[in-house]
Amino acid sequence: MGNQHGMPEGRIVVSVGAVVLDDGRVLLVKHVPERRGFWQDRWIFPGGKLELGECVAAGIRREVREETNLEIEVTSPLPVAERIVRDGSQVTLHVLYITYMARRIGGELRPGSDVGQARWVTPAELGDLWDELHEDTRPIARNAGIL
């Protein structure tokens, strides 16, 4: 059973993602409005839920491929980020973000079915989009040192 964030109730969600670099630019995605959920209407780094039995690097590569059609090489890990959302005494969302730096090694950028938009931005453009970044994406961007 899911909650208003589109996540399973009563579980800690492990989200894996990547800060993908290519030629001095970084990759951002935005989910389609129909998907709803916690990350809608904001630019984020590509990623999603880790599947049972899947290693982190494989999960990152799968999520980036599904969302963007790109092949990546996963390089170095970033500090784990966390989000706990409460509604009174109830926890409605608890996410651990495991994010790695990565670089594009193949494929042409093409948004997947759950991603309405995908784009490459320079660090300066990322700064200009700061208010349009999801609040959980901002500390990951800072940790990646791309601003």
pLDDT tens-place string over residues 82-118: 999 898 999 988 999 999 999 999 999 999 887 889 9
Reply yes or no on whether the pLDDT at 65 is more than 60. yes
Q: Residue 27 falls within a domain, yes or no?
A: yes
Domain residues for the domain of 111 are 13-144
Q: Residue 5 falls within a domain, yes or no?
A: no
Q: Residue 52 falls within a domain, yes or no?
A: yes
Q: What is the DSSP string of 5-56?
A: TSSBTTS-EEEEEEEEEETTEEEEEEE-GGG-STTTTSBB-SEEEPPTT--H
pTM of the model: 0.88
Q: What is the CA 31 to chain-centroid distance, rounded?
A: 10
Q: Residue 2 falls within a domain, yes or no?
A: no
CA–CA dist 103, 27 (Å, integer): 10
Domains in the chain, number = 1
Beta-strand pair 90-106/13-22 = parallel
pLDDT of residue 1: 44
pLDDT of residue 38: 60
User: What integer is the mean pLDDT of 6-15?
Assistant: 75
At a CB cut-off of 8 Å and minimum separation 6, what does 112 contact?
66, 67, 68, 69
CB-CB contact of 21 with 104 (8 Å)? yes
Q: Residue 7 falls within a domain, yes or no?
A: no
* Of the candidate ranges 33-37, 45-49, 51-55, the one whose mean pLDDT is the lowest: 33-37
Q: Residue 6 falls within a domain, yes or no?
A: no
The CATH number for 78's domain is 3.90.79.10
Quote the mean pLDDT of the chain: 89
Reply yes or no on whether the pLDDT at 35 is more than 90. no
pLDDT of residue 102: 98
Q: Residue 92 falls within a domain, yes or no?
A: yes
Q: Residue 105 falls within a domain, yes or no?
A: yes
pLDDT of residue 8: 54
By three-state DSSP, how is residue 72 classified? Answer: strand
At a CB cut-off of 8 Å and minimum separation 6, what does 77 contact?
98, 99, 100, 101
